[in-house]
């Protein structure tokens, strides 16, 4: 039986439809909740979020549905009962993540935890639920701390994630694909096939020249072009932005080189950011409003688009134990 954990319960992979594989309902660094400059009323949060999800659902009608994978880790403002209400009211499937965006987003309690403890935390959130929401995580987030170097805590989280993935069948996605060698070593040691791992943000502006694509692709890993829309052409781009054309060409190159099965794409947008201003105008719907037209313009056919946004993510998200 093929199933994927969403916040409202398991669904068959065939029900996922069009998948935005790395997005955020709202992301904030741990501690940002203490700074009132970012606070929003619940009315404002729903007002900023619901129309984006509804539009995403409308755009996705032709695909038979849609799925929003939330990449917000533990301690980053992940808010599962809120996601449940959003999903129930908009019809968008929402997949929540367990894990951490990186070691530098794990608060002290987890920063001091063992691999075993972290694994149990992840497994619990995948098989029993997150907090007392009953919502189960469908994916594990891991990542590289600031500075482009894998830290000891980052690797402890990677190892715990690998073990939890093997036990439960959920996939892993990473924040950043830089300094990937230590991560590949951990996955190899733990025996996790690399097609269960999406190496994310391989497309961002600051990572270029630091991503060992050969090692990732050669090992069978999946590669994430998941910051589409953080374009340097924006009036106030974030520091990880990149020229739109350059990112697109990079993406097309991998497709043309025969890696279609290994690529995934997303926008990493915040519906309503929690602890930062966000990037004005950037939403999950960039995928429909800019990226897909760009791909069509470049001669990418509908079957390929289907592969990138429907088949590949369904394959990736399906609970898989060997």
Partner 1 sequence: MKVTSPTVNTVLGPVPADDLGVVSVHEALLSVVPGAEHAYDITLDRAEIFEILAKKLTDFRNAGGQTIVDSTGMFHGRDLRLYEALSRSTGVHIVASTGMGPEENLGGYFLTPQTNPPTPWPAERFADLFGKEVTEGMVVPRVERRGAAGLVATTATRGGMTPTDESLFRGAARAALATGVPVSIRYGVDAVTELQLVLDEGLPADRVVVGDLDRTEAVAAGWPTAVAERGAFVAVDHVGRNDDDAFIRDAERAALVAELVAAGQVDRVLLSSNAVGVAKGHPAYELPYAHVQTAFAPLLASHGVADGDIQQILVANPRALLTVR
Give contact residues for partner 1 (rule: CB under 8 A).
28-36, 39-40, 74-75, 104-111, 120-121, 124-125, 128, 131, 145-147, 206, 238-239, 274-276
Cβ atoms of 162 and 131 within 8 Å: the answer is no
Whether residue 306 is annotated as binding a ligand: the answer is no
Is 35 marked within a binding site? no
CB closer to partner 1, 74 vs 223: 74
256 annotated ligand binder:
no
| CA-based nearest residue to 290, from 263, 317, 267, 322 | 267
Q: Which is nearer to Zn ion, 79 or 166 (CB)?
A: 79
Report the 3 state secondary structure along 150-201.
CCHHHHHHHHHHHHHHHHHCCCEEEECCECHHHHHHHHHHHCCCHHHEEECC
Task: Give least dist CB 22 to Zn ion, A.
Answer: 6
Of 71, 155, 172, 317, which lies in the binding site for Zn ion, with binding defined by CB under 5 A?
Answer: 71
280 labelled binding-site residue: no
CB 140 within 8 A of CB 97: yes
71 vs 202, beta carbon nearer Zn ion: 71
Helix (H, G, I), strand (E, B) or coil at 258: helix
Residues in Cβ contact with 116 at an 8 Å cutoff, skipping those fewer than 6 apart: 160
CA distance 311 to 90: 23
Residue 201 assigned ligand-binding role: yes
Binding flag, residue 279, Zn ion (CB under 5 A): no
Q: Residue 106: which of Zn ion, partner 1, none does it interact with, CB under 5 to 8 A by kind?
A: partner 1
The listed partner (Zn ion, partner 1, none) that binds 125, CB under 5 to 8 Å by sort, is partner 1
User: Is residue 268 involved in binding Zn ion (CB under 5 A)?
Assistant: yes
CB of 86 to partner 1, least distance (A): 17
Of the candidates 25, 76, 21, the residue with the CA atom closest to the CA atom of residue 226: 21
Hey, is 137 helix, strand or coil?
Answer: coil
Residue 108's binding partner out of partner 1, Zn ion, none, with CB under 5 to 8 Å set by partner kind: partner 1
- Based on its alpha-carbon atoms, the radius of gyration of the chain, rounded to whole angstroms, reads 18
Which residues lie near Zn ion (CB under 5 A)? 71, 268
Which residues does the annotation place in the binding site?
22, 24, 141, 175, 201, 268
Binding-site residue numbers for Zn(2+) are 22, 24, 141, 175, 201, 268
């Amino acid at each position: 039986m093929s199933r994927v954990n969403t916040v409202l319960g398991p669904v068959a992979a065939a029900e996922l439809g069009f998948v935005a594989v790395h997005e955020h309902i709202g992301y904030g660094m741990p501690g940002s909740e203490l700074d009132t400059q970012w606070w929003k009323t619940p009315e404002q949060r729903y007002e900023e979020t619901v129309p984006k999800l509804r539009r995403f659902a409308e755009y996705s009608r032709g695909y038979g549905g849609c799925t929003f994978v939330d990449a917000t880790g533990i301690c980053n403002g992940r808010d599962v009962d809120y996601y449940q209400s959003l999903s129930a009211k908009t019809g968008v499937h929402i997949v929540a993540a367990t894990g951490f965006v990186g070691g530098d987003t794990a608060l002290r309690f987890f920063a001091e935890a063992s691999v075993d403890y972290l694994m149990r935390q992840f497994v619990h959130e995948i098989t029993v639920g997150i907090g007392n929401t009953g919502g189960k995580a469908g994916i594990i987030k891991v990542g590289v701390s600031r500075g482009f170097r894998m830290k000891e805590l980052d690797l402890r989280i990677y190892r715990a994630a690998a073990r939890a993935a093997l036990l439960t069948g959920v996939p892993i996605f990473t924040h950043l694909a830089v300094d990937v060698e230590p991560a590949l070593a951990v996955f190899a040691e733990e025996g996790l096939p690399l097609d269960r791992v999406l190496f994310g943000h391989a497309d961002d502006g600051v990572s270029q020249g630091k991503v060992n694509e050969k090692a990732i692709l050669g090992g069978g890993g999946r590669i994430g072009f998941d910051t589409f829309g953080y374009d340097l052409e924006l009036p106030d781009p974030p520091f990880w932005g990149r020229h739109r054309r350059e990112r697109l060409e990079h993406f097309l190159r991998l497709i043309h080189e025969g890696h279609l099965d290994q690529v995934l794409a997303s926008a990493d947008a915040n519906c309503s950011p929690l602890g930062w201003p966000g990037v004005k105008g950037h939403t999950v719907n960039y995928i429909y409003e800019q990226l897909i037209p760009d791909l069509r313009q470049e001669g990418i056919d509908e079957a390929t688009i289907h592969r990138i946004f429907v088949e590949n993510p369904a394959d990736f998200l399906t609970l898989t134990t060997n």
